[in-house]
Amino acid sequence: MSYSTLSSICEESESTGIPFWQLIERDDCRERQVSEDEVFETMRGMYHAMKAADRSYDPELRSASGMTGGEGAKIEAYRKSGHALLGDFLSEVIEKAVKMAESNACMHRIVAAPTAGSCGVIPAVLLAYEDFRGAEEDEIIKSLFVAAGIGEVLAETACIAGAQGGCQAEIGSAAAMAAGAVAFLEGGDNETVIHAAALAIKDLLGLTCDPVAGLVEVPCVKRNAAGAAVAMTAAELALAGVRSQIPPDEVVEAMDAVGSQIPACLRETAEGGLAVTPTAKRIQERLNQQSDME
Amino acid sequence: MNLFDIIGPVMVGPSSSHTAGAVKIGFVSRRLMGCDIRRAEILFYGSFRTTGRGHGTNLAVVAGLLGMHPDDDRIPHSLEYAKRAGMEVEFGNVELKDAHPNSVLLRLTGVDGKKLSIVGESVGGSLINIAEIDGLSANFTGDNPTLIAHNDDEPGHVAAVTSMLAAEHINIATMQLYRKSRGGTAVMVIETDQEITKEGLAWLRHMPGINKITYYSVADLGDTPADRMRREDEAAREQNGEVREAEKRRS
Ligand code: SF4
């Protein structure tokens, strides 16, 4: 990947007239020596896999630990009851995010974006958007390149693994990528896109990674809903003209610094935070006994 | 990092290291075996042992050994598929020295009776490392063709191996050398961009001072049990479909 800053993508886009999404697409062409069509279709394949995963949600499924399953269906029922304060669109976003993350915990096929733990955020936002706006699929695919470009900068300059940088690296990165994608879809210019991403990162900076019993379930599943909502909020702010006072690339650098300052017990080791609450310890105990019995 | 590692890969959850990586370890091990597996003893270490069950690591390794890829939706049911394929599976735990926290020791017996023991590690994302083969260090990813040579620790063997590769126009991607003790056994692990020919491997095996050659090929090794069962299931589904169609027509 040739870009380690968000501003370098914007500058190149400005000077060449090539859109943000296409710079990212062409970068992959160069790297893997494949045609633009091929890269575009591979990305379409990713989007179709996201759609298929959303369609195949099964409310009856439970994870091996018993901690996860069935909650997405509850959100759907509540939305359909007409009580959703968030409105139909945002309520559908959080519903899809939880469904996807539940499917992941229950060993269904998903698309890691950027990780398996945060796989619900981007598809939730984009699938609901496609429905709501009646958007062209090709535009959604382009927005996935925008998201990927933001993700690549984060991977390069900060990090996208909970074990390395806490949950800001997973849910935070996913939210930043989704925010940028929506800002693009709504016609935002490059500056709007990267400010949407920066605003999302700022909202989730320092988030702990403290999964109960070390499993990608609690708090991960519901954090996907929160991440998706943050993404929508950040996109809306940026589209309204709100700007991050700290320039986006400085926000990314701060994220990197915070990632290494987060203590090891809050980086996927299950030795801090929610993972060491009395209830979490009881769950851990029960699971240990189960695996010993086998 | 590749673009489709950011949006992607398509995989069966829940964890890229404990599920997708574990499938890959199984898959690469089956390739190393070079034939179907009759019996697999699967021993977990570290975080594979403590959080493996919740992440489906056991199911994932078995799926890989059957030839499934990390995006195969049959992974959660791999134990049933193992039974169907006649692959015996046994799980346990193991203490390993200086091992990566996500490690598994596989003791495999092939349908041809060949035995192989492999230590695989899931090192982050869905990247893996094959750390040991038959008790000797290996260290390779399984993404490239890989040559592992165990030789006497004396001058000339590295040159002999690399000049054979040069003669076959094979480009070296990575190369590692290490030894247990001076003048003892040394190991060469060479990942290449092209496949090494049978003749090249035979030549190496006959070279004095070279005690063992292990070769990992990424070429298509033909049908896996996973492929065969997929075809059987598809055929059965088609037949069922036809039967149902016929019934519909009758009623
Ligand atoms: S809490 Fe940790 S494991 Fe869970 S989604 Fe966040 S980073 Fe991933």
Residue A87: predicted pLDDT: 95
For residues A65-86, give the mean pLDDT.
96
The per-residue pLDDT string of chain B (251 residues; one tens digit each, 9 = 90 and over) reads 789 999 999 999 999 999 999 999 999 999 999 899 999 999 999 989 988 888 999 999 999 999 999 999 999 999 999 999 999 999 999 999 888 889 999 999 999 999 999 999 998 777 899 999 988 888 899 999 999 998 999 899 999 999 999 999 999 999 999 887 788 888 999 999 999 999 999 999 999 999 989 899 998 777 999 999 999 999 999 988 877 777 777 76
State whether A215 and B51 contact (CB < 8 Å).
yes
Residue B247 is assigned to a structural domain of this protein: no
User: Which residue has 């990586």 as its token pair?
Assistant: B21
Residue B119: predicted pLDDT: 97
Closest-CA residue in chain B for A164? B124
Rounded Cα gap, residues A6 and A24, in angstroms: 11
Residue B228 is assigned to a structural domain of this protein: no
Domain count, chain B: 2
Number of A/B CB contacts below 8 angstroms equals 124
For residue B19, list chain A residues with Cβ-Cβ distance below 8 A: 107, 116
Same domain flag for B160 and B122: no
Same domain flag for B158 and B45: no
Same domain flag for B119 and B184: no
Closest CB to B54 among A24, A43, A287: A287
Last residue of a domain, one of B90, B111, B143: B143
Torsion-angle region of A3 (φ positive above 0: left; ψ -120 to 50: alpha; else: beta) = beta
How sure is the predictor about A50, in pLDDT bands with cuts at 50, 70 and 90? very high
Same domain flag for B32 and B57: yes
Same domain flag for B56 and B109: yes
Residue B244: predicted pLDDT: 77
State whether A116 and B54 contact (CB < 8 Å).
no
State whether A109 and B9 contact (CB < 8 Å).
no
- CA-nearest residue for atom 6, ligand 1, is A167
Last residue of a domain, one of B83, B117, B143: B143
Q: Is the ipTM of this complex over 0.90?
A: yes
Residue B179 is assigned to a structural domain of this protein: yes
Q: Which residue has the higher pLDDT, B181 or A236?
A: A236
**Are the CB atoms for B146 and B39 separated by under 8 Å?**
no
Last residue of a domain, one of B97, B123, B143: B143
**Domain with B110 in it:** 1-143
Distances (CA, A) of A149 to A169, A242, A249, B178, B183: 15, 22, 13, 40, 51
Residue B239 is assigned to a structural domain of this protein: no
Same domain flag for B60 and B179: no
Distances (CA, A) of A156 to A2, A5, A207, A255: 10, 9, 19, 12
The token pair that represents B38 in the structure block: 């009759």
Residue B207 is assigned to a structural domain of this protein: yes
A contact residues 90-149, partner B, Cβ 8 Å cutoff: 103-117, 119, 122, 144, 147-148
Residue A226: predicted pLDDT: 98
Residue B248 is assigned to a structural domain of this protein: no
Same domain flag for B97 and B192: no
Mean pLDDT of chain A: 96
Give the atom of ligand 1 at the shortest distance from the alpha carbon of A118: 5
CA of A215 to the centre of ligand 1 (A): 9
Rounded Cα gap, residues B213 and B187, in angstroms: 10
Q: Is the C-beta atom of A120 inside 6 A of ligand 1?
A: no
How sure is the predictor about A238, in pLDDT bands with cuts at 50, 70 and 90? very high
Same domain flag for B85 and B154: no
Q: Is the C-beta atom of A171 inside 6 A of ligand 1?
A: yes
Q: Which of A32-36, A122-126, A196-200 has the lowest mean pLDDT?
A: A32-36
Give the atom of ligand 1 at the shortest distance from the alpha carbon of A210: 1
> By percentage, how much of chain A surpasses pLDDT 90?
91
- CA-nearest residue for atom 1, ligand 1, is A209
Residue A127: predicted pLDDT: 98
User: What's the pLDDT tens digit per position in A212-226?
Assistant: 999 999 999 999 999
Closest CB to A109 among B5, B10, B51: B10
Residue B196 touches partner A, C-beta closer than 8 Å: no
Residue B248: predicted pLDDT: 74
Q: What is the CATH number of the domain that holds B51?
A: 3.30.1330.90
Same domain flag for B14 and B102: yes
User: What's the pLDDT tens digit per position in A154-173?
Assistant: 999 998 888 889 999 999 99
Residue B36 is assigned to a structural domain of this protein: yes
- Angle, nearest 10°, between helix axes B78-85 and B57-65? 30
For residues A226-248, give the mean pLDDT.
98
Residue B244 is assigned to a structural domain of this protein: no
Q: What is the CATH number of the domain that holds B171?
A: 3.30.70.260
For residue B56, list chain A residues with Cβ-Cβ distance below 8 A: 64, 107
Same domain flag for B175 and B75: no
Same domain flag for B56 and B154: no
Same domain flag for B132 and B171: no
